[in-house]
Each structure stands twice: as C-alpha cells, then as structure tokens.
Amino acid sequence: EIVLTQSPGTLSLSPGERATLSCRASQSVSSSYLAWYQQKPGQAPRLLIYGASSRATGIPDRFSGSGSGTDFTLTISRLEPEDFAVYYCQQYGSSFGQGTRLEIK
Amino acid sequence: QVQLVQSGAEVKKPGASVKVSCKASGYTFTGYYMHWVRQAPGQGLEWMGWINPNSGGTNYAQKFQGRVTMTRDTSISTAYMELSRLRSDDTAVYYCAREDVVVVAADYYYYMDVWGKGTTVTVSS
C-alpha cells in the first residue's frame, strides 16, 4: 500500500503570504490519481485539485498543484482568511495523507 | 443541484452493527461510483472503499475487509455502508462521496467531487 506523508504537520502563516504544502508518496503515484482536499472544522472535505494540477470547479486561481512521481505540492499564492483549514492529499481509491493544518500566525 | 443526504447520528454498543445511508439527488445515481470515508474525532481522513451503483461491485480498503459491506438500492438512489463488530475506535464521522472522472486525451482523472455532510457514529457501552 502506498503511504502519503504530508509536511509540515502545521504551517503558521499570515494572510497575504504564500503557502507551500508537500505530499510525498512512498512509491510512484500516477498524477491522474492525486487530489487535494480542504477541510474546515465541522465541514465535509472539499475538492480543490485533481490530477495533481487541475483546479476543481469554482476553486480560485490562487490555489495551484504541481508535482509527479513521488513528490507533489499544493501552493496557495496569497492567503485569504478563509484559506486557513486542514489540507489533505489523496491517491484515488486509497489512503489520504495525514493532513497539514494551515493556521493564522 | 447535486447533493448527497446522509442518515442521522447513531449510537451503538461494542459488537453491534451500524448501517449508514446516503441518498443521491440531482444526477444519475448509477453513473458514478460512491466512496465512503471516515474521520475519527480530531483525526485525519480514512478511505474505506467504494461501490459501483450500476453493478453493485465493491472495493474495500484492506483494513475493513470482512467488516464492511457497501450496498445500494437503485430504485431510491441510495447507497449504504454497514460496519459490523463495532469497536470504540470506530467512533467517527462517516462520509459518502461521489466519484467523478474526467477524460483528457486518453488520460483518466479520478476524484471525489460531491460529499455528504457526514453521519456521526458513536460506539460506547
């Protein structure tokens, strides 16, 4: 089973700053199967990125995804107050990463 | 609009079973796989498996093999997830999520685009 490891566990930044979140796989993952989700307290997860780099419908362009093989990255170019949440990567039909908590500094 | 409406909270005793429902609306139920994901209190997301509502075929995460059963009733566009032999560490919010697929130049992109609000299952003696 492929294990996804996200880093950092917690990221403390201020609104307007750039956030870079990492997702590393224990073995190569098809980019087609790599997605990123955002979850806020008390809410269901929300799809942000699929296919490693394609934004889901309605997702602002400050969110971008990149990577291939075993290393994937979610970047938020300029943080808005509503972006502070927990972010998960997932390989389709398999496990999620443990999540990165993005908190206000 | 596309939505998934889940059944209400459940409280169960250890050793019992729970069956959570997920009613789909706004799209063709049999055209999209349905996944189940759970989240223990304060923990991350855990993928449990999927069901193909068209054929009834299933694929379960190894961890849940033998304890989970996913079924569907196409006449009412509803998917079900039943977890048996409950333990205290099965206490979690259980989500259903619709899988969508995008095909671009012969590449298939899979993701879960619509989620239910979750069903809280508490296992306690």
Query: Which amino acid is it at A47?
Result: L
CA dihedral A18, A76, A104, A15 (to 10 degrees): 60
Q: Give the pLDDT score at A93.
A: 87
Which of the four pLDDT bands, split at 50, 70 and 90, describes residue A56? very high
CA distance A76 to A63: 5
Residue A52 confidence (pLDDT): 96
- Distance, in angstroms, between B113 CA and closest chain A CA? 6
In this prediction, the residues of chain B whose per-residue pLDDT falls under 50 are none
Task: Spell out which chain B residues touch chain A, with contact meaning CB-CB distance below 8 angstroms.
Answer: 35, 37, 44-47, 50, 59, 61-62, 95, 97, 102, 104, 107-113, 115-118
Overall residue count recorded for chain A in this entry: 105
Burial class from Cβ neighbours inside 10 Å (0-12, 13-18, 19+) for residue A77 reads: middle
> In the prediction, which pLDDT does B19 show?
98
Determine how β-strand B68-73 pairs with β-strand A54-55: unpaired
Q: What is the pLDDT of residue B105?
A: 83
Give the per-residue pLDDT at B76.
98
Which chain B residues contact residue A59 at CB under 8 A?
A: none
CB contact under 8 A, B112 and A47: yes
Partner B, chain A 40-69, Cβ-Cβ below 8 Å:
44-47, 50-51, 54, 56-57
Residue B107 confidence (pLDDT): 85
Contact (CB<8Å) B44/A98: yes
Model confidence at A1: pLDDT above 90: no
Of A44, A46, A95, the CB nearest to B117: A44
**Distance (Å, whole) CA B67 – CA B69:** 7
pLDDT, residue B54, reads 96
In chain B, how long is the greatest CA-to-CA distance?
A: 54
pLDDT, one tens digit per residue, over A10-43 is 999 999 999 999 999 999 999 999 999 999 999 9
* pLDDT cut 90: percent of chain A above it: 97
Average pLDDT over residues A41-65: 96
**pLDDT at B96 (0 to 100):** 98
Judge whether B11 and B29 are in contact, CB under 8 Å.
Answer: no
